[in-house]
Amino acid sequence: MAEARTKPAPKGLEGVVATTTAISLVQDNRLIYRGYAIDDLVAKAEYEEVAYLLLNGDLPDRDQLRDFKQELVKHRALSPFLRDLLAEMSENATAMDVLRTVVSASAAEDPAEGDNSQAAEYRKSIRLTAKLPTMLATYMRRRRGEQPVPPEPSLGHAANFAHMTWGEKAHPRAAEIMNAAFILQAEHGLNASTFAARITAGTDADMHAAVTAAFGALKGPKHGGATDTTMRMIEEIGSPDHAETFVDKGIERKYIFSGFGHRVYLTEDPRAKHLRRFASELAKGGPEQAKQFEIQERLVRAIAERRPKMSPGAAAKVNVVNVDFYAATAYTFLGIPADLGTSIFSLGRIAGWCAHVMEQHGDNRLIRPESEYTGPVGRTWVPIAER
């Protein structure tokens, strides 16, 4: 075996500090955006304020917020080129494939393509943040066989998404809950998709390339996708009375309990309680919702009761209820199909991705770690006739 130049990093780079950032702090039971606790932001802020905070470093004053909102409104509409591409793809493609592709294609009409200056990237960030909800709402309606609803300039970011998605049929609390969800998912340190964006930006690739890379990473079920598998798990359990037996059998067969576990949060995911509250309140809307929420609650209790008896490895995989667990039911109760949970996630995270790309380009160095070679050495070429 070749001698490694340095001690190899832990598998998955767990615990490795790869960069510095002023954007967010992620610690056990603690999430901070630019110095502000997530609990304060989700309780008091509009998503536009949080997006401004992530992109600029400070909360906006009244005039700055007005101007920022006006810029978002101005850039919500899609060009004929993007509308046609989205319509063509919506026939068969998944939401994540559509968003990734249409975001990438939007570089073709970027007036500052190739300009990685802070001012140009800030404008790109606004355009991407503004257009992404239009892309997803259009996809959702086309998938249902409905015509797209154009953006409504008088509505805020989350309310406009609800309007474009459901029109007059929107749940009365859709805008409120979407606003909170976008804030909770807006930023989360050096997660896989953000790291992918920063690695891409580190090559001096532009904002669109970096965000496209982030979409590619987010599509993976180990990063996104737990809302879909959580709802399938709830449906498989079927009844609150089956939760304990389901957990016992799951432990025996090493089942992966969707919506549980986190690499950083060891005792509590600070985002989960907010979505649990929404799921709990929306569950009062009917018997099926009440049953699904009760299955979740019984499942959480059953896993907590059995966790002390699990092996350390198994216990670590269900150490906390994560943000996706109650997002699954909250979204479902609003009328969002579970397989679209990851794409909803991206509508909030776009501001965080863009902030990280700007930060990377602001003091850039190519991200190029080493690897430890574990293959053979000293082999001798053998002509093909002798192999």
Mind giving me the DSSP string for 306-331?
HGGGS-HHHHHTTSSB-HHHHHHHHH
Is 324 a catalytic site residue? yes
Crossing angle of the two packed helices 95-105 and 341-362, in degrees rounded to 10: 30
Strands 36-37 and 24-27, sheet pairing: unpaired
Residue 231 to residue 304: CA distance in whole angstroms: 20
Instruction: Using CB atoms within 10 Å of the CB of residue 171, give its burial: 0 to 12 exposed, 13 to 18 middle, 19+ buried.
Output: middle
Q: What is the set of domains in the chain, with CATH numbers?
A: 23-222+341-362 (1.10.580.10), 226-334 (1.10.230.10)
What pTM did the predictor assign? 0.94
Give the pLDDT of the chain (387 residues) as one tens digit per residue. Answer: 444 456 777 877 777 788 899 999 999 999 999 999 999 999 999 999 999 999 999 999 999 999 999 999 999 999 999 999 999 999 899 999 999 999 999 999 999 988 999 999 999 999 999 999 999 999 999 999 999 999 999 999 999 999 999 999 999 999 999 999 999 999 999 999 999 999 999 999 999 999 999 999 999 888 877 888 999 999 999 999 999 999 999 999 999 999 999 989 999 999 999 999 999 999 999 999 999 999 999 999 999 999 998 989 899 999 999 999 999 999 999 999 999 999 999 999 999 999 999 999 999 999 998 888 999 999 999 999 999
The answer to whether the CB of 65 falls within 8 A of the CB of 52 is yes
Residue tagged active-site, from 188, 274, 324, 361: 324
Is 274 a catalytic site residue? no
Residue tagged active-site, from 157, 163, 208, 262: 262
